[in-house]
């Protein structure tokens, strides 16, 4: 399939803009992303920065107010074309509480029109990998937060998407499951899938991301490899992505306060 691109553009020049406005709130603006295949892209930003709005645009769930974005060569305006290529784990996985995990996954496989035998095999392997096989015939309503999260992750992965969007994937997971998620993400990138990872857990990003983008007030304030970002600031001691994040977002806060004076 060649290169994978996620472009979300906005500029004063109205011919190239992608922005998401909620009535009078500009959630995402001046954002241009181009992410090659096989990349783990860490998407960072303070609360309310516009990360979820960006992901919702890229996963066809919400239309950009203006501009354009392409996933695997398809416009996000074309849900039917984009859908087979993407998997999405939102902060609250969309699950039917009255179903069991196996029923939920089989229902989703049906909606996606996946080949039955191969999908069952893959789902069983994922249930094993995430230590969920023994509970997979119990109703989701009886699951802990972590078990629901694992079901959501398997649901996002089971059709082998080219591009996987993960919003706080390790939320609620115990250390073993969180490690399985990190290893799974790294394995997917090795197989040439692209993972778009939004999380506030910066050590996870530092460990597995190839590139990092920092969003603030709907705009990208920095982008690069984790090393290139940590090299940007001189703290006198070794800096971490957390130092970079705090520095950048504080700088952006000051700049915004200065501009509005």
Q: Work out whether 253 is an interface residue with ligand ATP (CB under 6 A).
A: no
Enumerate long-range contacts of 218-221, CB under 8 Å, 24 or more apart: 218/19, 218/26, 218/27, 218/28, 218/29, 218/30, 218/31, 218/49, 218/50, 218/53, 219/29, 219/30, 219/31, 220/30, 220/31, 220/32, 220/33, 221/248, 221/249, 221/251, 221/252
Q: Which of residues 111-170 bind ligand ATP (CB under 6 A)?
A: none
For residues 84-101, b (16+ Cβ closer than 10 Å) or e, as one string? bbbbbbbeebebeeebbb
Q: Which is nearer to ligand ATP, 52 or 119 (CB)?
A: 52
Check residue 219 for interaction with ligand ATP (CB under 6 A): no
Stretch in the footprint of ligand ATP (CB under 6 A) among 21-29, 32-40, 183-191, 236-244: 21-29
Beta-carbon neighbour count of residue 187 at 10 Å? 10
27 binds ligand ATP (CB under 6 A): yes
Q: How far is the CB of 13 from ligand ATP (least distance, A)?
A: 23
Q: Establish if 104 lies at the interface with ligand ATP (CB under 6 A).
A: no
**Which residues 6+ apart lie within 8 Å of 192 measured at CB?**
37, 38
The one among 25, 142, 144, 225 contacting ligand ATP by CB under 6 A? 25
CA–CA separation, 171 vs 135, rounded Å?
20
Give least dist CB 41 to ligand ATP, A: 15
- Select from 109, 63, 57 the least CA-distant residue to 84: 109
In the complex with ligand ATP, which residue's Cβ is closer, 58 or 101?
Answer: 58
- Minimum CB–partner distance for residue 182 and ligand ATP (Å): 20
Q: Which is nearer to ligand ATP, 45 or 226 (CB)?
A: 45
Which positions from 37 through 66 interact with ligand ATP, judged by CB under 6 A?
A: 45, 47-53
Helix (H, G, I), strand (E, B) or coil at 85: helix
Q: Is 19 in the site for ligand ATP (CB under 6 A)?
A: no
Copy the structure tokens of residue 153: 């992750």
Q: How far is the CB of 91 from ligand ATP (least distance, A)?
A: 7
Closest approach of Cβ 220 to ligand ATP, in Å?
12
Interface ranges with ligand ATP (CB under 6 A): 22, 25, 27, 45, 47-53
């Amino acid at each position: 399939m060649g290169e994978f691109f996620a472009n979300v553009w906005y500029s004063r020049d109205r011919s190239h803009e992608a922005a998401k406005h909620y009535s009078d709130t500009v959630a995402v603006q001046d954002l241009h992303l181009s992410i090659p295949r096989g990349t783990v892209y860490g998407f960072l930003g303070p609360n309310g920065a516009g990360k979820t709005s960006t992901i919702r645009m890229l996963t066809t769930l919400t239309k950009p107010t203006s501009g354009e974005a392409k996933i695997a060569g398809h416009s996000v305006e074309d849900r039917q074309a984009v859908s087979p290529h993407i998997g999405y784990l939102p902060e609250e996985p969309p699950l039917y509480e009255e179903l069991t995990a196996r029923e939920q996954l089989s229902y989703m496989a049906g909606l996606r029109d996946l080949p039955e035998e191969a999908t069952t095999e893959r789902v069983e392997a994922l249930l094993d990998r995430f230590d969920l096989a023994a509970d997979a015939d119990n109703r989701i309503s009886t699951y802990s937060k972590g078990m629901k999260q694992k079901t959501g992750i398997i649901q996002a992965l089971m059709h082998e998407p080219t591009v996987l969007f993960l919003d706080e994937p390790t939320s609620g997971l115990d250390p073993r499951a969180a490690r399985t998620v990190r290893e799974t993400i790294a394995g997917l990138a090795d197989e040439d899938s692209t993972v778009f990872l939004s999380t506030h857990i910066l050590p996870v990003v530092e460990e597995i991301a190839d590139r990092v983008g920092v969003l603030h007030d709907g705009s990208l304030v920095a982008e690069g490899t984790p090393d290139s970002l940590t090299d940007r600031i001189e703290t006198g001691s070794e800096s971490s992505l957390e130092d970079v994040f705090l520095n950048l977002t504080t700088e952006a806060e000051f700049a915004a306060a200065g501009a509005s004076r």
